[in-house]
Structure 1
Amino acid sequence: MEFRMGELFSGPGGLALGAKLAEFTDDTGEKWDFKHSWANDFDQDTVETYKLNLLHNPDAKTVFCEDVSKFPIGDKSILPDIDALAFGFPCNDYSSVGKQKGLGGVYGPLYSYGVKVLKYYQPKVFIAENVGGLSSANEGYALVKILEEFQSSGYHITPNLYKFEEYGVPQARHRIIIVGIRNDLYEEGIHFHVPEPTTPDPKDMKTSQQAIEEPKIPVDAPNNEMPRTTKKVAERLSYIPEGENAWYLGIPEELRLNVRGAKLSSIYKRLDHTKPAYTVTGSGGGGTHMYHWKENRALTNRERARLQTFPDDFKFIGSKESVRKQIGMAVPPEGAKVVMEAVLKTFAGIEYPWVKPTEKLQLDNLLGVKKYEPIELEL
């Protein structure tokens, strides 16, 4: 069975690649998969990356570079009907790394365009992704509002905090993913369950060294240019042991940073080769580029892409900084695959190991929290 999929805020294609990897054939010989229908993102380089790698067609007309507020949602001559909607709505205003403006920020309300698609198209299922900080934005009010709007659009929702390092991703990346099954299908017995972690034990988790070195990155791999490292930065790094950052006490006074900052931050933080990486990010200035556990340098973009589980032949389009941003903002394809595969198995009636969803994220447990007034959209 084929699920025609639409995407908002598609990024370079992490969710789409995860959906592609999730396909399987059941015991009867029937194939279950997602098929690209249309996608949208605001960034031109990101759109070009998506078209090249997911569609293998730089001229594809089904991926739109457009402000979501101007995207022709509902015009089925341009955006035809879909069976599934995937959207990693922008996390800038919910991230614990940022200022957590939540619904009051520029990006916070953008989830509402996903709601607009749900109301117009009523797909069988949706998959929405955001940072773990969403649960605390606006003192928890933001999550309540978002879940209520998803539910009122006609869906039974299952929010869960996925710790991707527990699913084979070599990175401590914690994300809220909300899966919604259309109410009529839920009543017919289509019940999504959170897939059980595959590597819950720390000793079984894939490490940053394994991700980057096993196998070696091919010499012709794209986006693998060595970063420029100044003599002073290289010298500073030489005093920082793996797993430590710029506030390590062994750094000589003349090489310490003359700034106030959180001593648990990732500024000039080296990877620990025995553990999954810390979270790959897509923004930030000097000292935030992720640093090799042994060599006195930042990681290459290809090394970051490996931590995000993109294959070596996945070519990102744009400048080094554009590529860095695309990689950091993406959903790890191997993490997305776990969720997408569970969605397909749910519809196929195939049982799989599952766990209860994160209790504190369930709407019934959040309804005591004050609600925001709905954001009105012109439909």
Structure 2
Amino acid sequence: MTDKPPYRVPSMEEIRALPWNGFNAVSTFSGCGGSSLGYRMAGFRMLWASEFVPAAQETYRANAAPHTVLDTRDIREVKGRDILDACGLGVGEIDLFDGSPPCASFSTAGKREAGWGQVKKYSDTEQRTDDLFYEYARLIEETQPRTFVAENVAGLVKGSAKGYFKEILARLRAPGYRVSVRVLDASWLGVPQSRNRLIFVGVREDLGTDPAHPTPLLYRYTVRDTLPGILAQGDNGGFGGGSFRSADHPSPTILTGPSNGNKDYPPGHVIAEPSVVHDPETGQALSIKGSRRVRKLTLAELRAISGFPEDFILTGTYAQRWERIGRAVPPVMMSHIAATVRDRILVPLREAETI
């Protein structure tokens, strides 16, 4: 069996102290900043970010680098020129353009096409979400970054959503980009959680190089590796949902909020005698009514399972803080994607330019 280092996510202080790798990045649909933090872990300087949901903006600001500009407008109002001016860059000078357009419309967990083309509730707002990937593609065309990374649910390539996927792929390629797409599982990229995400990587055609995705690690972290203190010794069934996953596997996918029911416990509940009955950060009661052996996760435990630093600041109620994590790309996962773009695309291009 392959040896693996102990599970540990660097602290915010350690991330802030990392040296700049010489490349810049901007982010759209930034949420609480999970992706942005992953780029910072890989040494990128995040110059500009966009987030429309007020509760997410609050958390993003609490953890942002001091030089990051946060634009709070609806992305439909943002022009490529706005981003370039805010960053002090010209067309073609952004190194990496990130984006995670809201993906609930394509998730296999919901009604999917029943909500396409409609304005509906999304987090603390109401908006249409199935067209936002086209706004991302528009901004790629207007700014012409060297590379881009876009993230969405794996459901975008399943069933009736495949038509949208093909249209999006064509739109991303149209401004002159080579684009590669893969479904990546966070549990093979250093996160103790099985979370499949569709990752687009694009490289501008004139740069003459191909997109690249990270190689999976040779090991995965388990719940027991991550939260050894919450399970009784020898307990092999101490974490998970209705499927009762073993603690010696990664966590199932963390959703945007825990259930308050007492039957089908979703990921994010501990099946064990509760050692903590209130969340230390918010005072939220964690026990489940009707059960003495089930409780929700503390926010500290949720951060650890989702690849966030233990000192990453969350704001709002317990439910809002959970939602921020549940909607985010795990920073550790994104750090591997960012490092691959850095080392296999951007660094070779920079070295070629200096020859």
Q: Same fold (TM over 0.5)?
A: yes
Residue 159 (str. 1) matches residue 181 (str. 2): yes
Kindly provide the CA deviation profile for residues 272-310 of structure 1, in whole angstroms up to 9, marking residues without a partner as x. Answer: 211100001114643446211323211112211111110
Partner of 1:45: 55
Structure 2: state its 5+ residue gaps: 1-20, 119-127, 231-236, 274-293, 350-355
Kindly provide the CA deviation profile for residues 191-216 of structure 1, in whole angstroms up to 9, marking residues without a partner as x. Answer: 232221103xxxx32111221237x9
Residue 63 (str. 1) matches residue 83 (str. 2): no
Q: 1:290 aligns with which of 268, 274, 278?
A: 268
Residue 36 (str. 1) matches residue 46 (str. 2): yes
Contact 2:49 2:68 in 1 (8 A): no
Select the structure of larger CA radius of gyration.
1
Partner of 1:95: 107
Partner of 2:339: 341
Contact 1:169 1:332 in 2 (8 A): yes
Partner AA of 1:62 in structure 2: V
Q: 2:96 aligns with which of 63, 81, 84?
A: 84
Over 3 Å counting, the alpha-carbon distance change for 1:207 and 1:284 in structure 2 is closer
Deviates more, 1:5-14 or 1:77-86: 77-86
Alpha-carbon distance in 2 for matches of 1:309, 1:317: 18
Q: Secondary structure at the match of 1:278?
A: coil
Kindly provide the CA deviation profile for residues 63-121 of structure 1, in whole angstroms up to 9, marking residues without a partner as x. Answer: 12222122344234346432221011111101111112275452111011111111111
Residue 16 (str. 1) matches residue 28 (str. 2): no
Partner AA of 2:343 in structure 1: K
Alpha-carbon distance in 1 for matches of 2:36, 2:340: 15
Over 3 Å counting, the alpha-carbon distance change for 1:10 and 1:335 in structure 2 is same
Where does structure 1 differ by over 3 angstroms across 4 or more consecutive aligned residues? 76-81, 102-105, 241-245
Residue 114 (str. 1) matches residue 114 (str. 2): no
Alpha-carbon distance in 2 for matches of 1:310, 1:93: 26
Partner of 2:251: 277
Partner AA of 1:309 in structure 2: G
Alpha-carbon distance in 2 for matches of 1:77, 1:193: 29
Q: Secondary structure at the match of 1:116?
A: helix
Kindly provide the CA deviation profile for residues 109-166 of structure 1, in whole angstroms up to 9, marking residues without a partner as x. Answer: 1011111111111000000000111111535111101101000121100101101111
CA drift of 1:271 comes to: 5.1
Partner of 1:208: 223
Aligned positions of 1:1-379 closer than 5 A: 2-23=22-43, 34-55=44-65, 57=66, 62-75=69-82, 76-78=84-86, 80-81=88-89, 82-101=94-113, 104-105=117-118, 106-136=128-158, 138-185=160-207, 187=208, 190-199=209-218, 204-213=219-228, 242=238, 245=241, 266=242, 270=244, 272-283=246-257, 285-287=259-261, 288=266, 290-295=268-273, 296-346=294-344, 347-349=346-348
Please report the TM-score for the alignment, with normalisation by the length of structure 2: 0.74
Q: Secondary structure at the match of 1:74?
A: helix
Where relative contact order (Cα < 8 A, 6+ residues apart) is larger, the structure is 1
Contact 1:271 1:290 in 2 (8 A): no
Partner AA of 2:97 in structure 1: L
Alpha-carbon distance in 1 for matches of 2:319, 2:117: 28
Q: Secondary structure at the match of 2:315?
A: coil
Alpha-carbon distance in 1 for matches of 2:309, 2:300: 9
Kindly provide the CA deviation profile for residues 163-187 of structure 1, in whole angstroms up to 9, marking residues without a partner as x. Answer: 11112210110001000000101x2
Alpha-carbon distance in 2 for matches of 1:14, 1:71: 21
Partner AA of 1:338 in structure 2: H
Contact 1:4 1:35 in 2 (8 A): yes
Deviates more, 1:327-336 or 1:82-91: 82-91
Partner AA of 1:77 in structure 2: D
Alpha-carbon distance in 1 for matches of 2:314, 2:182: 30
Alpha-carbon distance in 2 for matches of 1:170, 1:286: 24
CA drift of 1:45 comes to: 2.4
Q: Secondary structure at the match of 1:17?
A: helix
Partner AA of 1:71 in structure 2: V
Please report the TM-score for the alignment, with normalisation by the length of structure 1: 0.69
CA drift of 1:270 comes to: 5.0
Q: Secondary structure at the match of 2:111?
A: coil
Kindly provide the CA deviation profile for residues 218-254 of structure 1, in whole angstroms up to 9, marking residues without a partner as x. Answer: xxxxxxxxxxxxxxxxxxxxxxx64675xxxxxxxxx
Q: CA RMSD in A?
A: 2.4
Contact 1:270 1:292 in 2 (8 A): no
Q: Secondary structure at the match of 1:39?
A: strand
Kindly provide the CA deviation profile for residues 317-348 of structure 1, in whole angstroms up to 9, marking residues without a partner as x. Answer: 11111111100000011100111000001222
Alpha-carbon distance in 2 for matches of 1:273, 1:142: 37
Q: What percent of counterpart residues are identical?
A: 27
Q: May I ask how many residue pairs the two structures share in their alignment? A: 284
Structure 1: state its 5+ residue gaps: 24-33, 217-240, 246-265, 351-379
Partner AA of 1:290 in structure 2: G
Contact 2:226 2:305 in 1 (8 A): yes
Contact 1:272 1:293 in 2 (8 A): no
Kindly provide the CA deviation profile for residues 14-67 of structure 1, in whole angstroms up to 9, marking residues without a partner as x. Answer: 1111111113xxxxxxxxxx2111101112222222222132x5xx77112222
